[in-house]
Amino acid sequence: MNIEGDAYRLTWQDNVISLSGKLSLMLEDYAELESVFEKIIASKPSNLVLDIRNLEYLNSSGIKTICVSLILEAADIEGLGMKILCSNQYTWQKETVPTFEDLMDNMEIFFE
Amino acid sequence: MSESAITILGDFAEPELVDFEGLLSFTIKADYIEKEKLWKSKDLTAEFLGNFWRQLLDNEDIKSTLHFVCAELMENAVYHSVKSDYLVMIQLCFKSDELLVYVKNSAKTEKVEDFKSFVRSLLETENLQKLFVQRMKEARKSGTRKSQVGLITIIKDRGAKLSWKFEQKADITLITTMARISLKRKDKQV
């Protein structure tokens, strides 16, 4: 599955969700991403990888969407492990993504 | 002229009283441009401000912080501004050791009290990470789109300090948000 926005791209394949570009939509415009996350959660995957190594910018509505519609939902699926792949290249990722760890027990965050 | 009631929350300093070395200001009437176009111009403005001050101050770290802080405060302003002659204004003052970002917008007075309560909890909390997790869980439970995570993130992750001035004028309240960004080091609160 692919979604192409004005400045961002989302792909979902083999339990890997990749987000790239700049994601700074208006709050109501995150409905499309929320619905993709819903489908992913409904498929009850045994593991999930969120690859944001090429996500240059994420606004607070995007942070909320990822935390609420993906991570907290994933946290409720028994046995599901989640990995988030990040890049040291982007300051916001270093500052913000580690704070997601308190939302889910079985989560690992990797920087490269 | 009608009287206005003023409330200050946090360590707010009037821009007129700040002894600054440089200033950039961008002002637009809230009803002049469609919300969607204002939203896109907000991204460009925030990115420009980040790049401009990075070059001027020769400080690489400031770009990402300033971009996020300006974009988030302008997003709030664009969302809440009332369709009228009231303005959305961003003003950036450079002092020797800090940058001050002011964003001014209007809002319906009836909606401001809830926001003030949140601001008080934000300024009083000793654990922003706990507040972040709490707001995320509440947003999931209630299905609300509003979480105020932007303001939490500005303080918690970007190390800026926030304060507010509310000028209540009958149906409309003018809200000025001030962000202090230290140029010495990042004062992270956890």
CB atoms within 10 A of CB B127: 12
Would you state the pLDDT for residue B3? 58
Given a contact cutoff of 8 angstroms between Cβ atoms, the answer to whether B179 and B155 are in contact is no
Q: Chain A contacts of B75, Cβ < 8 Å?
A: 26, 59-61
**Measured in whole angstroms, how far is the alpha carbon of residue B35 from the centre of its chain?**
18
Among the partner-chain residues A24, A61, A72, the one whose CB lies closest to the CB of B43 is A24
Pairing relationship of beta strands A16-23 and A47-58 according to DSSP bridges? parallel
- Scanning B18-59, the segments in alpha helix (DSSP H) are 35-57
Query: What are the tens digits of pLDDT across the range B49-92?
Result: 888 888 888 888 788 898 899 999 988 888 777 765 556 778 88
| A105 at interface of B, judged by CB pairs closer than 8 A | no
Q: Taking each helix axis from N to C terminus, what angle separates B35-57 and B60-80, rounded to the nearest 10 degrees? A: 160
User: Is any Cβ of chain A less than 8 angstroms from the Cβ of B189?
Assistant: no
Q: What is the mean pLDDT of residues A90-110?
A: 95
Q: Do B153 and A68 touch (CB under 8 A)?
A: no
pLDDT class of B16 with cuts at 50, 70, 90: confident
**pTM for this entry:** 0.91
Distances (CA, A) of B47 to B43, B54, B155, B171: 6, 11, 19, 34
